[in-house]
Amino acid sequence: MADFWSDVERHVVRYGGVFTPEIIVGAEGSYVVTESGRRILDFTSGQMSAILGHSHPEIVATVRRQVGELDHLFSGMLSRPVVELSRRLAESLPAPLSKTLLLTTGAESNEAAVRMAKLVTGGYEIVSFARSWHGMTQAAAGATYSAGRRGYGPPSPGNFAIPAPDGYRPEFTRPDGSLDWERQLDTGFALFDAQSSGAPAACLVEPILSSGGVIEPPAGYLRRLHEKCRERGMLLILDEAQTGLGRTGTWYAFERDGIVPDIITLSKTLGAGLPLAAVVTSEEIEQAAYERGFLFYTTHVNDPLPAAVGNTVLDILERDGLVKRAAELGDRLRRGLLELQSRHETVGDVRGRGLLQGLELVTDRATKTGADSLGAAVTRRCLELGLHMNVVQLPGMGGTFRIAPPLTSTDEELERGLAILDEALAG
């Protein structure tokens, strides 16, 4: 044990925050297992990705079979798993979204989407939410505002932030104190228009901001945002890394608003924990990009192994009715969190959709004063009691837990997690 942590200190690069003080040796279903034999309930689905739990037997079987048959190809070659997954993603999405590029990470898919939007529109300006997280590569990082902007030199030119529509801490209000999101959105784009050099390309946003504190735009917001994009000749890119493929109780979070984005990016949930991402767009946009020489050669573009995993993920989601199950579990989880709010004064707000819920801690409900240190303390106590939680702590906010259990969770596992959180909040 001591040698392990000594080697960590000597040889492992630290890349954000601190490491969980446990050595993980295995994972199965909703649990990760430590070297000491502890089973820790995973309320984050790994990195918000393992929607089928850990080591799902059918995913394991697919990996074993596919790696022995066809794992990797020259980037200009195609295989049946790639074309099948592309077709199935198109079938899961509304028209005209029908053309797919398979990649590895969420940042990479956002990078490709932004690159495509710039090429097709001829512009270069990108609008995103002020609490966004789209990745750590150049264009994705340029559109990321929640963290990681300082110390790396100038970001890509042409990036603009608009306020996130936070109903709990509204920046624009109606007479009753509720969020005046229409005025907020109008003001945000008026500021963009004033700063724009006349070269808008795209608006890249998450349908529910996860790293930004589980902020869900009000009903109608995305439709109006889409109209703003149309008025300016911009493409709307929706980053559904954490919300796609059923987590919110529908296949895609944007379905609630009855719109169709120009480009959608998927990652995390598509591979259910394995590295797989996708960019899906219309035939019209793909054709325009192709005619202009769209280039996105990467080492693992359209690799057959992760594509085969993606097909298995879709098989399981469809066969086991897990999208509907996510809606039902999400209702159960939300009721449990609201019950905690009724008993603990430090719980200021509960928000989210389906199995992506946020619980924000405050020191005072009236003033909504942030509870940064409490969030960290509750996280540590949950881990001691056998529950892994993730708390988002941004300037001007309290600690907000991102709660995203696997879609395969049982009722009993949800109840156990809520009971542990209850105990941790009680101190």
378 Cβ neighbours under 8 A, 6+ residues apart: 361, 389, 391, 399, 401, 421, 424, 425
Q: How confident is the model at residue 397 (pLDDT cuts 50, 70, 90)?
A: low
Show which of 256, 284, 319 is a domain's final residue: 319
Place of tokens 């600690």: 399
Set 111, 125, 166, 206: catalytic member? 206
Q: Output the pLDDT for position 27.
A: 97
312 in the same domain as 327:
no
| Residue 7 is assigned to a structural domain of this protein | no
Residues 418, 332, single domain; the answer is: yes
Q: Span 149-171, mean pLDDT?
A: 94
- Domain hosting residue 136, numbered range: 60-319
- pLDDT of 274-320, one tens digit each? 999 999 999 999 999 999 999 999 999 999 999 999 999 999 999 99
Three-class DSSP category at 124: coil
Beta bridge partners of 209: 215
Tokens of residue 138, six digits = 């150049």
- Establish whether 186 is a catalytic residue: no
Query: Residue 129 pairs with which residues in a beta bridge?
Result: 162
User: Range with the lowest mean pLDDT among 149-153, 222-226, 332-336?
Assistant: 149-153
The answer to whether 416 is a known catalytic residue is no
Q: Are residues 385 and 326 in the same domain?
A: yes
Beta carbons of 182 and 190 less than 8 angstroms apart: no
The pTM for the full model equals 0.96
pLDDT tens-digit profile of 216-246?
999 999 999 999 999 999 999 999 999 999 9
Domain closes at, from 268, 286, 319: 319
**Pair 64, 204 in one domain:** yes
From the list 224, 247, 268, 351, the catalytic residue is 268
> Which residue among the candidates 133, 166, 224, 303 is catalytic per the annotation?
133
Percent of the chain with pLDDT over 70: 99
Q: What is the pLDDT of residues 56-77, one digit of tens each?
A: 999 999 999 999 999 999 999 9
- Residue 10 belongs to a domain: no
- Cβ partners under 8 Å of residue 17, min gap 6: none
Selecting among 166, 180, 216, 239, the annotated active-site residue is 239
Query: Side chain identity at 149, as an amino acid letter?
Result: R
Domain boundary residue, one of 284, 319, 354: 319
Q: What is the mean pLDDT of the chain?
A: 96
> What are the phi and psi torsion angles at 48 (to 5°)?
55, 30
- Sign of torsion over alpha carbons 152, 154, 159, 164: positive
Q: Which CATH number does the domain housing residue 34 bear?
A: 3.90.1150.10
239 annotated active-site: yes
Residue 420 maps to a domain: yes
Which residue of the set 108, 180, 216, 242 is catalytic?
Answer: 242
CA distances from 384 to 265, 297, 381 (A): 36, 45, 5
> Does the active-site annotation cover 324?
no
Using alpha carbons only, give the angle 77, 274, 354 rounded to the nearest 5 degrees: 125
Has 206 been annotated as catalytic?
yes
Residue 4 lies in a domain: no
Amino acid, res. 414 = L
- Look at residue 55 and tell me if it is in a domain: no
Instruction: Give the pLDDT score at 427.
Output: 80
Residue 253 near residue 244, CB atoms below 8 Å: yes
Mark whether 10 is an active-site residue: no
